[in-house]
Amino acid sequence: MSCRDPFGLPLTTSPEAAAVWSRGLLDLLRLREGGAEQVSQALALDPTFALAHSTLALLGHEMCLPVDLPARLRDAQLHARRATDRERAHVHAVVRHVAGDPAPLVAHLVEHPRDALLLSTAVPTIAFAGVTEVPEQAWAIVEAAAPAYDGHWWSDGLLAFMRQEQGRFDEAMELSCRSLAAEPSAGHSAHARAHAHYETGDHHAGLHWMDGWVTGDGARTVSLSHFSWHAALHELSLGDTDAVRRRHRDQLGTDRALGCRALVDTGSLLFRWALTAEGEDVPGLAGVLATTGRETLARPATPFLALHAAVVLLATDDVPGLRTLARYAESHVHPVHREVVAPVVHALIVLARGLPGLAADCLGAVADRTWRLGGSDAQREVLEEIRIAALLRAGRLDEARMMLDRRLDRRESPRDRTWRGRCARPARPAGPGGPARASVSGAAGPPAGA
């Protein structure tokens, strides 16, 4: 009998390597630690295992794991020659995806919807950036694949995440809870539930549940910092900055965040905390910069990472770094880099030069395109908050108030209510450097310019 993965697909390798790789796949789908290590172990058991090579390449590309990317891609293609048609198509899809061409991966899933690793890769999740620019395309991929999984806990979790993106929060909660009942450590399901709590302003209940999950069933989650970020976002929304400080100290320090998660989770939290009206004595970003590395800040692999690189560069007042990132985005083969990342970075450069009104206008001009950056609404909100801060520093209080009113219409937030209250106060004129000097040390002061 041929070796098969947990979803019944044949694997061209030894039984021992197949078993280890399959355990690694399930841990990757759970978002549990040890998945990448098990894939590496499978490769050690069978150096000719094409899917093990391509999986490591994919993880290196998407999650900033230390992988010899060209070597893994080369060996995957070499050994795929002796594999099944499905495995050859899988490897080809990974190679093209890393090169910036998502079409083969999307086409592959039409023929092989039970190729769970590539399905996870195709849609924006906590683990992967996704290959589609239009949310409806990602939703359609998940919807089309769902019948092939027949209510599997992982598929339910992925579908739950799509439902919360669609604003169908009751369905998202039902699916995520059903998945977690079957597999309590299911990371995607927990992630969907976290978003459902946040997007409905259910901060107290969401925080209580998340605190229990990250210290219980989710304690072995490889992306634990992101769930801690979700908890901190509830605390920030509630205006409880003392709790945010404890959360950062105990769960979000860069010694706990792996690879790009330090940039995406810890870096963005510190910046948003510094923009908060009560944002005082915010820890610095030196650890985030050291963990992320200069190459990721200058040449981020995805538009989503580029957004967070730009935010951290702004927060540290690194105008040369922002200009380097802008040049990279302008010349990138991917249109989202050119059409969205580049104008966002230029807006932040303008902000760093002390022109908050112009920066707010530049961010407003690209606001209807920022969804193309990937990630979630909750993550991309950082650009909305930068724009509000810029409007306040420019003295354009009515516009800032309207933006905050729209936020409060979406969900309740004591933080935003406090922020809105400051709109009635006279704005402090923006001096040289303006609000961009949010070095996340408290130097920037509250975004309302109070």
Each residue's pLDDT tens digit, 353-395 = 999 999 999 999 999 999 889 888 899 999 999 999 999 999 9
**Residue environment code for 305-333, b if the CB has 16+ CB neighbours within 10 A, otherwise e:** bbbbbbbbbbbbbbbebbebbbebbeebe
CA–CA gap between residue 183 and residue 34 (Å, rounded): 17
Q: Which SS3 state, helix, strand or coil, does residue 413 take?
A: coil
Q: What are 117-122's contacts with CB under 8 Å, separation 24+?
A: 117/25, 117/28, 117/29, 117/55, 117/58, 118/90, 118/93, 118/94, 119/145, 119/158, 120/28, 120/29, 120/158, 120/188, 121/58, 121/62, 121/97
> Measured in Å, how far apart are the chain's first and last C-alpha atoms?
71
In a structure prediction context, what are the per-residue pLDDT tens digits for the chain, which is 450 residues long? 489 999 999 999 999 999 999 999 999 999 998 999 999 999 999 999 999 999 999 998 887 788 899 999 999 999 999 999 999 999 999 999 999 888 999 999 999 999 999 999 888 776 676 777 677 888 999 999 999 999 999 999 999 999 998 999 999 999 999 999 999 999 999 999 999 999 999 999 999 999 999 999 999 888 788 899 999 999 999 999 999 999 999 988 876 656 688 899 999 999 999 987 667 789 999 989 988 889 999 999 889 999 999 999 999 999 999 999 999 999 999 899 999 999 999 999 999 999 999 999 999 999 999 988 988 889 999 999 999 999 999 999 999 999 999 999 999 999 999 999 988 765 454 443 333 344 333 333 333 322
pTM, two decimal places:
0.83
Count of CB atoms within 10 A of residue 184's CB? 15
CB of 113 within 8 A of CB of 119?
yes
CA–CA gap between residue 196 and residue 179 (Å, rounded): 15
CA–CA gap between residue 412 and residue 249 (Å, rounded): 26
CA–CA gap between residue 54 and residue 77 (Å, rounded): 8
Residue 368 token pair: 């209807």
pLDDT confidence of residue 450: 25
Of 409, 391, 412, 410, residue with least CA distance to 400: 391
CA–CA gap between residue 118 and residue 112 (Å, rounded): 9
CA–CA gap between residue 82 and residue 97 (Å, rounded): 22
